[in-house]
Structure 1
Amino acid sequence: MKKHLLIVALFALTVGAKAQQKSAADSLMSAMSKDEKPVPVAIFKSTRLVLSQTTEMVKKNEFNFQIIHRFGDIAGSNGGGQTAFGIDRVNDVFFGFEYGVSDNFNVDLGRSTIGQLIQLELKYALVHQTSDGSSPLAVTLLGEAGVQPYQQSTFTTMSSRMSYLAQAIIAHSFNGALSLQVSPTYLRQNTAFPISPANTEQSFFALQAAARIKLTNHTGFIVDYAHPFSDFRKNTYDFQDPLGFGYEVETGGHVFTVNITNANSISEMNMLARSQQRYSRGQYRIGFTISRMFDFNGSHKKMKE
């Protein structure tokens, strides 16, 4: 069923993009007659959703500070009133710093509680969706390198501490009311998690898919899902596909998202490799993301929704 949902999302994204491209001839001629240049479309409100990163970029000389938090289980044996439905427990905290070297190139640095993972990320906007339909899709390339600097008894060499992730994020906005994206992903862990049994995969592919439904000009509802294509990470090994739901609010320079997900981990490197929590066992949790943008340009180019 989950694989079918991914296929449906891919199909809807492709068909919708083609339809908008075909219907854009009139708007393109109109734009030309007014001597206007195509404007990049803001497909999402932020660079992150619940599980996924988006095609959105931090503009040149802007700085985005993010705090992402995941609490403990709401229900099940580790939740309930004894832990204030998970509020008493902290599963993961992520601090992220995103800087726009240019409008199309970002350098990001982040740190997660789980594994004490420190990650450096390079993000490049290859193609923008444009307001005249001449480019129906946005495509952003993302590369990450992560290191776990502690746990010396487990990681005996610098190489054994490293992980790598490569991702292509493909997105489309349907007139601002609905935004869809898919993200083919490759993950490599030099020390595979879990360390035992011996057949744990060091490398595997995954696919993430997400949707944002516009509720008002400043709010939206998010669905976010990830599926690792891994023979090891099947139900026989108690691994689960991450799935999250979020409510997003934009207030001035802040974007705030409150969400519920079964994923403990925030970083894609940890989330794709480590997710073992089930909704059916009450192993879902409240989380939130706070994003605060600082503009050092003195002027700001507004993207069209």
Structure 2
Amino acid sequence: MKKYLILLVLLTASNFLIAQTTDTAKNEKKASSMDALLDSVSTDNKTDNVVIFKATRLVLSQSTEMTKKKNLNFLIIHRFGDAGGANGGGKLYYGLDDVADVYIGFEYGVSDNFNIDIGRTTIGGLADLELKYALLHQKSDNSSPIAITLIGEGGVRPYGFVTYPTFGDRLSYFGQVIFARKFSSAFSLQIAPSYVRDNLPMPDVAGNEQQFFSLSGTGVLKVSNHMGIIVDYAHPFSSFRQHNSNFSDPLGFGLQMETGGHVFTINFTNARAIDEINYLSDTESKYSKGQFRIGFTISRIFDFNHNK
């Protein structure tokens, strides 16, 4: 009888210890999950950088936003043909049967402040390598009221041996400084002085400059938590373009939508080209002649931070 009593006590004690261990493990797991949740939503301990824009690309311009470290941003940017005018209208389904330009590119975050981007555009077969560096971030405590991002790009046109007799003629360069600020929860603005150099002027006509400066301005008005309206404008400071009525300043309007890991932008612009080198050098389409087109941008982020 005594043996059975001792056995019963031991079984009861062991069950109690197992239950306590299980509860402790559950509590630790729950605490760990809660800590992870708090870490994911907390900004006090990690960063107070202001997110000024939803994406790295707007309509014409790039933004101050960066692709985060060990993230890959896959981009598809498409411009259809003229909606109206001699090359548009109903016979071409208002430009949807035609293609003005397509850009496919990748943006990789070497760090949160430094990106390497590569891509190719249909117009001129321009392939580009770009370096992007976030020099300054806007801070939520207003210790830094603006964000500053630097962009340097080199482009090469590998085809067209008659047009470009030497390799040097195929090269173009683009440099830009972007100043941006989020003025309120609903409105963000950026301005961007730029420099463009085409070793062979584009278009290659008498009197055209090899190099010129430009100034871009972009505003985004947020209309909901996941949607914003974009106005994007650029003005090249070029005497050749100012005295030639064929040229127009690039102007675009867009509606940007955020859906999970995707950012989708639908836009209208008179610029046929997508790359800055191309559309700043040669935009000859005019809204007044129906020479504007619908376009879209799809951005998909891939996260390679497996240790999270």
Normalising to structure 2: TM-score of the pair? 0.84
Match of residue 31 from structure 2:
none
Q: Which residue of 2 aligns with 1:231?
A: 239
Deviation, 1:158, is 1.2
Cα RMSD (Å) of the superposition?
Answer: 1.4
Greater RCO (Cα-Cα under 8 Å, separation 6 or more): 1
CA offset digits 1:235-273 (Å, max 9, x no partner): 534100000000000000000000000000000000000
Partner residue of 2:213? Answer: 205
Q: 1:126, CA displacement in angstroms?
A: 0.1
Q: Unmatched 5+ residue regions in structure 1?
A: 1-33, 301-305
Structure 2 residue aligned with 1:83: 92
Q: Does 1:255 align with 2:255?
A: no
Which deviates further from its counterpart, 236-245 or 224-233? Answer: 236-245
Indicate the structure with greater helix content.
Answer: 2
Identify which of 58, 65, 73 aligns with 1:56: 65
The one of 122, 131, 145 equivalent to 2:131 is: 122
Distance in 2, matches of 1:299 and 1:253, equals 19
Aligned-partner SS, 1:51: coil
Deviation at 1:133, TM superposition (A): 0.8
Paired residue type of 1:239:
F
SS at match of 2:239: coil
2: distance between equivalents of 1:39 and 1:262? 38
3-state DSSP of counterpart to 2:86:
coil
Question: For 1:36-61, what per-residue CA distance to the aligned partner results, in whole angstroms no more than 9, with x for missing partners?
Answer: 56511110000000000000000100
- 1:116 deviates by 0.2
The corresponding residue for 1:10 is none
What fraction of aligned residue pairs are identical, expressed as a percent?
58
2:166 to 151, 157, 162: 157
Matched residue SS, 1:165: strand
Task: Give the match's secondary structure for 2:247.
Answer: coil
Correspondence for 2:105: 96
1:291 deviation in Å? Answer: 0.4
Q: Matched residues in 1 for 2:96 and 2:307: separation?
A: 40
After superposition, the C-alpha distances for 1:61-98 in whole angstroms (9 at most, x for unaligned) are: 00000000000110111111000000000000000100
Q: Which residue of 1 aligns with 2:189?
A: 180
For each residue in 1:168-190, what CA deviation from the matched residue of structure 2 results, as whole angstroms up to 9, or x when unmatched? 01100013210000000000000
Give SS of 1:110's match: strand
Deviations 1:116-157 (A, max 9, x none): 000000000000001111111000000000000000011111
d(CA) in 2 for partners of 1:245, 1:178: 15
Q: Could you list the runs of 4 or more consecutive aligned residues of structure 1 that deviate by over 4 angstroms after TM superposition?
A: 34-38
Judged with a 3 Å threshold, the aligned counterparts in structure 2 of structure 1 residues 101 and 37 are, in CA distance, closer, same or farther, namely closer
1:292 to 296, 300, 305: 300
How many angstroms apart in 2 are the aligned matches of 1:77 and 1:40? 48
Residue 155 to residue 124, structure 1, CA distance change in 2 (3 Å): same
Unaligned runs of 5+ in 2: 1-42
Are the structure 2 counterparts of residues 267 and 132 from structure 1 closer, same or farther at C-alpha, using a change threshold of 3 Å?
same
Q: Alpha carbons of 1:45 and 1:35: their partners in 2 closer, same or farther (altered >3 Å)?
A: closer
Distance 2:238 2:291 in 1: 22
CA offset at residue 288 of structure 1? Answer: 0.3
Larger radius of gyration: 2
- Letter in structure 2 aligned against 1:129: Q
Taking structure 1 as the reference length, what is the TM-score of the superposition? 0.85
Deviations 1:214-247 (A, max 9, x none): 0111000000000000001125341000000000
Q: Is the 8 A contact 1:74 1:80 kept in 2?
A: yes
Q: Indicate the residue corresponding to 1:270 in structure 2.
A: 278
Report how many residues are paired: 266
